[in-house]
Amino acid sequence: MKIIEVDSYEKMSALAADVIAAQVITKPHAVLGFATGSTPIGTYVALAKKCREDGLDFSDITTFNLDEYCALEISHPQSYYAFMWENLFSHINIKKENVHLPNGMAADIDKECENYEKMIEEAGGVDLQLLGIGHNGHIGFNEPGDSFISATHRVDLTQRTIEANCRFFENDLNKVPKQAITMGIGTIMKAKNILMLIRGEDKLEAMKAMLAKEVHPSCQASVLQYHPNVTVIYTAN
């Protein structure tokens, strides 16, 4: 893994946007994998600026997001669909039909997971996958466990995650989604290139576990050690 440390969030975001822009320029039909969460927001702002001011062209780009809540309407402000449109897609010239997130409202979630996996394959696979990391080393919604789950699948959110999310759902535990769909570890590992963004000293433990000698499902991100093309950008601030 290539690890780059920078001294500000602004620099991290600018650098990450440069990497993504280079992919868009060198392969206008590229498939990009995106993440939600607070860390990539600056990158998305920088990408929108490149599109607006420098003409970075997303018109032939296809995207697949890592994950989405189950049983939450996409119109809900906390859906990952809403997040992506608010923070990125509304600000770039991407075609709506080229944007993909798992459909957490699908009647048959298992079928949806299968379809999502198939759609990624049919699009030629992900060229560049953007990742964040959880404090517990999760990537996507792949939480610490006894194994690595390969394909896109349904996950039960941990009680800790449900409680942490409560503040986004009117502090009502009943309104917090209890399940999500996530790309699996195998899906993520199939990406040709991976760019992981890590912000904050509070993520150092997770980063250490990711880089530790032993690759173990108790830190799902540690599997990235087996990937030939991972770049990590870290900033303490």
Nearest to 224, CA basis, from 235, 209, 237, 236: 209
Query: Least CB distance from residue 39 to ligand F6R, whole Å?
Result: 3
Of residues 148-187, those binding ligand F6R (CB under 6 A): none
Question: Which residues lie closer than 8 Å to 11 by C-beta, 6 or more apart?
Answer: 235
Candidates 22-30, 116-124, 135-143, 148-156; binding stretch for ligand F6R (CB under 6 A): 135-143
Q: Detail the DSSP E strand segments found in 16-171.
A: 31-34, 62-65, 67-69, 99-100, 128-131, 153-156
Closer of 125 and 200 to ligand F6R (Cβ): 200
Shortest gap between Cβ of 94 and ligand F6R (angstroms)? 18
Structure tokens that stand for 218 in this block: 């108790």
- Is 112 tagged catalytic? no
CB closer to ligand F6R, 89 vs 141: 141
**Reduced to 3 states, what is the DSSP secondary structure of residue 101?**
coil
| Residue indicated by tokens 């062209």 | 57
Contacts of 228 by beta carbon, 8 Å cutoff, 6+ apart: none
Does the annotation count 103 as an active-site position?
Answer: no
CB of 119 to ligand F6R, least distance (A): 18
Q: Does 36 bind ligand F6R (CB under 6 A)?
A: yes
Token duo for residue 82: 């809403």
Has 171 been annotated as catalytic? no
Residue nearest to ligand F6R (CB): 132
Instruction: Determine whether 77 is exposed, middle or buried from the number of CB atoms within 10 Å of its CB (0-12, 13-18, 19+).
Output: exposed
Which of 2, 26, 38, 77 is the binder for ligand F6R (CB under 6 A)?
38
Q: How far apart are CA 169 and CA 197, in angstroms?
A: 26
The only residue of 66, 185, 207, 210 in contact with ligand F6R, by rule CB under 6 A: 66
- Of the candidate residues 50, 100, 138, 153, the single one contacting ligand F6R (CB under 6 A): 138
**For ligand F6R, how many residues bind (rule: CB under 6 A)?**
14
**Residue 58 or residue 69: which is nearer to ligand F6R going by CB?**
69
- Residues 140, 143, 181, 224: which binds ligand F6R (CB under 6 A)? 140
152: which residues sit within 8 A by CB, 6+ positions away?
Answer: 102, 113, 114, 116, 117, 120, 181, 182, 183, 184, 187
Give catalytic residues, as residue numbers: 67, 136, 138, 143
| Residues forming the site for ligand F6R (CB under 6 A) | 35-39, 66-67, 132-134, 138-141
